[in-house]
Amino acid sequence: MIQEKKKAFNNFAVAKGLRSTRQRDIILDTFLSTNQHISVEELYLKIKSGNQGIGQATVYRTLKLFTEAGLAREILLNDGQTRYEHVIAGEHHDHLVCTGCNAIIEFEDETIEKLQKDIAARQGFHMRSHKLEIYGLCIKCRH
């Protein structure tokens, strides 16, 4: 699974004419070994412990590249922060984002998924992807 993703990213990098770099490999390895919904800063701190040379700006740019390559997905938090998660082939979910504690709750609803496709189709629009983020307060923050 991880090997496949690395391959996919390498193909993307070659197609874009990007040179492979050791730094990017380290960032990719670390990202692929993390859990979901990681922020740039969290990923940077994980990398920093073993590799002093990699700056936060590089981590940020590389995550953008992973997103472009279809390896990562961005989730925008209310405070302007972005979190990243792995894109798993064939898997899809949307998010409830708490503006109080930044908790991210995943959900999937067939009715909503179908409705979105119908809306697009009605406009003669070919939907390639979508993301749905619902902002509000989670059950803990409401009390």
**Binding interface with Zn ion (CB under 5 A):** 85, 94, 98, 100-101, 103, 106, 138, 141
CA distance 45 to 85: 16
Smallest gap from Cβ 34 to Zn ion, in A, equals 13
Which is nearer to Zn ion, 54 or 69 (by Cβ)? 69
Which is nearer to Zn ion, 13 or 133 (by Cβ)? 133
Pairing label, strands 133-136, 94-98? parallel
Smallest gap from Cβ 117 to Zn ion, in A, equals 10
Q: Which neighbouring-strand residues pair with 106? A: 95
CA distance 134 to 21: 37
CA angle 26, 32, 37 (to 5 degrees): 120
Which is nearer to Zn ion, 54 or 97 (by Cβ)? 97
User: What 8-state DSSP symbol labels residue 69?
Assistant: T
User: What 8-state DSSP symbol labels residue 18?
Assistant: P
Smallest gap from Cβ 115 to Zn ion, in A, equals 10
Smallest gap from Cβ 106 to Zn ion, in A, equals 5
Which is nearer to Zn ion, 54 or 85 (by Cβ)? 85
